[in-house]
């Protein structure tokens, strides 16, 4: 399964480079099922994988002038704050086993995995659903974008995802960026938020397996470069729906496997 994991890492990087979102959320099941990590470990380590890939991708997007720095500040600072708070204090404070009244108990890992599946289903819906174009005359709402950034940072930090699947539509509909600008700015936001969350989580070095992570990141970067190249020649939007259905299947599989064994 390790070889399969490295191959799949190329796919994750390619999707992130092509769509600016979506692929990063697959890093968690990759680490769990191909490399044998627990959900707590996987959600922390995935932030490093996603953060480095998105950083390099956003560097190339910056050269193409597809990053809007004003919006990066408005959304990025709250998103970084949210990710840091969750990984630094919220995740470590969750007990190993949580008692739910007379209903029994749930483990910390199962809770994280359940929330992760729900977020993945939301990501799939965002990619599958057809959205109408925003009203070009409507004013941009930066305070809504900032609040959304905080919420995305909290949520993405908890489940170890980049949150680009929420950032891209938010940047289009709330601050009126075109799709290319939204994808480029989203990559930069994902990089800032993910690396902040990882640094907050890095105080638990037993979760870090540097050789494995280096191999995954190297493979993902190969996919990232391919995705960035392809994104110049084709429109990414038509591919989102198919990828959304794929994510729906993966989320359903993880949910059933985690609850039913």
Among 3-7, 120-124, 178-182, the range of highest mean pLDDT: 3-7
Residue 173 pLDDT exceeds 90: no
Of 10-14, 156-160, 170-174, 189-193, the one with minimum mean pLDDT is 170-174
Torsion of Cα atoms, 121 then 123 then 127 then 133, to 10°: 120
**Range in 89-98, 100-109, 115-124, 139-148 the model is least confident about:** 139-148
Tally of CB atoms within 10 A around 77: 16
Q: Residue 137 pLDDT more than 60? A: no
Average pLDDT, integer, range 117-132: 84
d(CA 254, CA 240): 21
Most confident of 12-16, 225-229, 252-256: 252-256
Mean pLDDT for the stretch of residues 20-35? 87
The residue ranges of every structural domain in the chain are: 1-260
Angle (deg, nearest 10), helices 142-159 and 108-128: 130
What's the confidence (pLDDT) of residue 212? 94
| pLDDT of the residue at 77 | 97
Phi-psi region of 101 (alpha: psi -120 to 50; beta: other; left: phi over 0): left
In this prediction, residues 218-246 reach a mean pLDDT of 86
pLDDT value of residue 248:
94
Mean residue pLDDT of the chain comes to: 89
- CA dist., res. 18 & res. 16, Å (int): 6
| Residue 195 CA from chain centroid, whole number | 12
Q: What average pLDDT does this structure show over 125-129?
A: 86
pLDDT of 62 reads 95
Nearest to 162 by CA among 10, 37, 7, 58: 58
Q: Is the pLDDT of residue 130 over 70?
A: no
Q: What are the helix (H) ranges across 104-236?
A: 108-128, 142-159, 164-173, 179-201, 210-231
Return d(Cα 114, Cα 252) in angstroms, integer: 11
Q: Note the pLDDT of residue 255.
A: 94
Q: Is a pLDDT exceeding 80 seen at residue 136? A: no
What is the arithmetic mean of pLDDT over 231-246?
81
């Amino acid at each position: 399964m390790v070889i399969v994991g490295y191959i799949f890492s190329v796919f994750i990087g390619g999707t992130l480079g092509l769509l600016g979102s979506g692929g990063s959320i697959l890093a968690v099941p990759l680490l769990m099922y191909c490399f044998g990590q627990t959900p707590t470990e996987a959600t922390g380590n995935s932030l490093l994988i996603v953060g480095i890939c998105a950083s390099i991708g956003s560097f190339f997007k910056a050269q193409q002038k597809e990053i809007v720095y004003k919006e990066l500040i408005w959304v990025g600072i709250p998103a970084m704050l949210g990710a840091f708070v969750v990984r630094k204090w919220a995740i470590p404070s969750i007990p190993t086993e949580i008692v739910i009244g007379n209903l029994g108990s749930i483990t910390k890992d199962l809770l994280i995995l359940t929330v992760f599946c729900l977020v993945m289903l939301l990501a799939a819906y965002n990619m599958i659903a057809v959205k109408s174009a925003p009203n070009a005359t409507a004013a941009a709402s930066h305070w809504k974008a900032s609040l959304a950034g905080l919420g995305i940072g909290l949520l993405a930090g908890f489940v170890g995802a980049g949150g680009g699947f929420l950032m891209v539509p938010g940047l289009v509909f709330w601050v009126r960026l075109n799709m290319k600008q939204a994808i480029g700015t989203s990559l930069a936001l994902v990089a800032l938020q993910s690396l902040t969350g990882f640094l907050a989580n890095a105080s638990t070095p037993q979760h870090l397996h540097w050789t494995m992570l280096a191999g995954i990141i190297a493979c993902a970067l190969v996919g990232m470069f391919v995705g960035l190249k392809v994104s110049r020649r084709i429109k990414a939007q038509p591919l989102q729906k198919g990828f959304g259905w794929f994510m729906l299947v993966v989320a359903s599989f993880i949910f059933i496997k985690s609850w039913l064994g």
